[in-house]
Homo-oligomer: A and B are copies of this chain.
């Protein structure tokens, strides 16, 4: 039973905690919280011991929560750390704490790539994480792109170049202070956005350029992809690759999937925790072949897409299971869509 400590219990951390708790080969030994808010009470209710920074003990006690210990106590109690802190705080934690303990740490995509020895996506480079001290699960958009491109590569469809145009969600549902409202924001105004180079931390030889705008939605990101293939492939071959690849869902307009909202409504109807949709949702009707050009649109659920990747990263780092057995186990325990999927 792998003892997992989770540093940061926000949008990503709380989801990873729940996902780890659903596995039979690992358990949550504690979560680090900074504020004794409603999320802290949820953590307690789920049986996750709460740790905090030593200077936050009083705040927690005043709120009626007795901390189980400091961040260092949590590190000592863990076999492996998941750092799901806000952007750049992971690096601070590394410098202040992680470097003093001989425990592997998995960072999130909010950190720069050089915080870790290797960037990680389960489909693309599971094996590269084995035995590493510091691993980084790439961010939501990068994970989505990497899955789509890897699906093609694993199925023998060569990629000459990928140009991806991203409409980013402006904020997560709970971020009441972020925007935009009624605006489209070049995000960034310069080209490329960081996503292209970030994909290259995993798919090192891929020719990729990305552009991004932010739009007033909290629901999901939407990507419009233009991919030049190494030769001509049929639409059927591309669709078959997506059908077979775990963590990719094909949404048909004819089945009622006309927009991102329908993908999330599907997750709600499935009874999924927090209405999450960790699969990349490809709009099947958008998949178009034109000579050696492939076009498609897909949604990326920013809050949950990296959750199964983190579960796999734990097994990959510790060498507990080989790639496809871990991916399959994660998908089944998290009740992802496994129909038609080929694991290995």
* A-to-B contact residues, CB < 8 Å: 163, 165, 167, 180, 182-186, 189-192, 209, 211, 213, 215-220, 222, 224, 226, 253, 258-261, 283, 285-286, 288, 290, 293, 295, 297, 299
Contacts and interface: CB of A to CB of B under 8 A. Distances in A.
A163 B299 CA distance: 20
B167 A286 contact: no
Nearest to A165: B165
B288 A219 contact: no
19 contacts: A163-B163, A165-B165, A167-B215, A182-B217, A182-B218, A184-B220, A184-B299, A185-B258, A185-B260, A186-B258, A186-B283, A186-B286, A190-B286, A190-B288, A192-B288, A209-B290, A211-B226, A215-B216, A216-B216
Contacts of A186: 253, 258-259, 283, 285-286, 297
Contact of A211 (B253, B261, B295): B295
A230 B335 CA distance: 50
B183 A295 contact: no
Given A163-B163, A211-B297, A184 B288 contact: no
Instruction: Determine how many copies of this chain the complex contains.
Output: 2
A186 to B, nearest CB: 5
B285 A183 contact: no
Contact of A184 (B185, B215, B290): B215
A180 to B, nearest CB: 7
A222 B213 contact: yes
